[in-house]
């Protein structure tokens, strides 16, 4: 008989000295709670310090979801309703998330001293490599709103190899013209900074209706302890340079892009124009009915389904089941491939309530979703 050999078996996760299985379980639970709450970091950049919060752990061969908020908001007030939505949990379980707060916009941020030179939007975009280097992340899927959408687009133009996809809500890629400047100055004579920012975020119809959502965000912005900082971010947004997108030209986004805007939103025309300048084979345009100026706040369910669809097109979450949009009464696919941006005749497809996926549609299509 062969001599038996002694084999030592080691626990995969050995207990620490003096640690019982109960305390080990408590420690693991505490670590999970910490991940769920997010871990906040700050990193120094050539243009000052920037704060960001990380949720989850990096997944092998998967990019990070990287968000950037609009003026008057921070990452929580801009994105929390979307990322806390029930159907979104399937997505966030599969990706690590990085939520950036523009300098001085994070909760508890001190007011910048008088005369402080706030970074331009281009400089805010140049801070992003410092964040990714700190986290040792190589690629991202960007989700930006308004000013944040512009910043992520600027970053994607200069670092195309690190951006796998972009979801751009309410993007205005154009610099302000002389007429825009005149209107802005005249508005500034009769309106306060909070009212001007609210007019940037929400439609006039929404502001007139003064819903609970509008009252909430009017209160957040009007009574913000860092209102002086918000005004600096607002000024940087209004002094943005033209992104100079050109369909078929050198200056364009190389990655898949989903443009999103609400029907009758303040930036509807700007997003339509942006869509006409991007590569139609890489760009989807989602115009959401009944969503107002901030679709991620008012229609998180519709936007979540569209985001899942977008990720599937990129090769992620292939087994994800589409439910909410496929229960919609109507999903219209409108061809938007004309070079001059003129919208051609729409092609409407009725969807069965039993359908598990959205119709694939041609590349560069517009999805107008109403429920």
- Say if residue 82's pLDDT is above 60: yes
pLDDT-wise least confident of 18-27, 247-256, 267-276, 301-310: 18-27
Tell me what pLDDT residue 337 has: 38
**Positive or negative, the Cα torsion across 106, 121, 199, 364?**
negative
Burial string for 246-271 (b: 16+ CB within 10 Å, else e) reads ebeeeebbebbbbbbbbbbbbbbebb
**Would you place residue 176 in the very low, low, confident or very high pLDDT band (cuts 50, 70, 90)?**
confident
pLDDT-wise least confident of 14-23, 158-167, 276-285: 14-23
- Say if residue 127's pLDDT is above 60: yes
| pLDDT tens-digit map of 295-328 | 999 999 999 999 999 999 999 987 665 554 444 4
CA-based end-to-end distance of the chain: 75
Nearest to 151 by CA among 69, 226, 272, 75: 69
| pLDDT tens-digit map of 199-224 | 999 999 999 987 999 999 999 999 99
Asked if 230 and 112 touch (Cβ cutoff 8 Å), the reply is no
Residue 257 vs residues 106, 154, 244, 354, 363: alpha-carbon distances, Å: 27, 13, 16, 28, 11
């Amino acid at each position: 008989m062969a001599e038996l050999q002694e084999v030592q078996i080691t626990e995969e996760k050995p207990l620490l000295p003096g640690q019982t299985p109960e305390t080990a379980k408590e420690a693991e639970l505490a670590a999970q709670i910490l991940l769920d709450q997010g871990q906040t970091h700050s990193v120094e950049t050539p243009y000052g310090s920037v704060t960001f919060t990380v949720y989850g752990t990096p997944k092998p061969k998967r990019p990070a979801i990287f968000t950037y908020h609009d003026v008057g908001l921070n990452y929580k007030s801009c994105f929390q309703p979307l990322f806390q939505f029930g159907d979104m949990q399937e997505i966030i379980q599969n990706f690590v998330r990085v939520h950036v707060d523009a300098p001085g916009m994070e909760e508890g941020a001190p007011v910048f001293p008088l005369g402080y030179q706030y970074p331009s939007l281009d400089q805010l975009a140049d801070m992003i490599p410092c964040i990714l280097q700190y986290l040792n992340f190589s690629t991202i899927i960007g989700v930006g709103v308004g000013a944040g959408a512009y910043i992520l687009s600027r970053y994607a133009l200069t670092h195309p190899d690190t951006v796998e996809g972009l979801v751009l809500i309410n993007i205005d890629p154009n610099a302000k013209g002389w007429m825009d400047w005149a209107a802005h100055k005249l508005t500034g004579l009769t309106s306060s900074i909070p009212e001007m920012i609210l007019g940037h975020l929400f439609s006039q119809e929404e502001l007139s209706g003064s819903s609970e959502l509008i009252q909430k965000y009017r209160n957040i912005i009007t009574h913000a302890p860092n209102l002086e900082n918000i005004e600096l971010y607002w000024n940087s947004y209004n002094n943005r340079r033209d992104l100079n997108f050109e369909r078929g030209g050198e200056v364009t986004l190389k990655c898949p892009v989903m443009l999103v805007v609400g029907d009758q939103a303040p930036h509807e025309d700007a997003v339509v124009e942006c869509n006409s300048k991007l590569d139609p084979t890489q760009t989807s345009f989602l115009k959401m009915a009944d969503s107002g100026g901030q679709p991620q706040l008012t229609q998180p369910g519709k936007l979540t389904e569209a985001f899942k669809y977008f990720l599937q097109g990129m090769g992620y979450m292939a087994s994800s089941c589409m439910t909410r949009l496929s229960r919609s009464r109507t999903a219209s696919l409108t061809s938007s491939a004309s070079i001059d941006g003129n919208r051609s005749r729409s092609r409407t497809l009725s969807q069965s309530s039993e359908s598990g996926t959205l119709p694939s549609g041609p590349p560069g299509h517009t999805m107008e979703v109403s429920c």
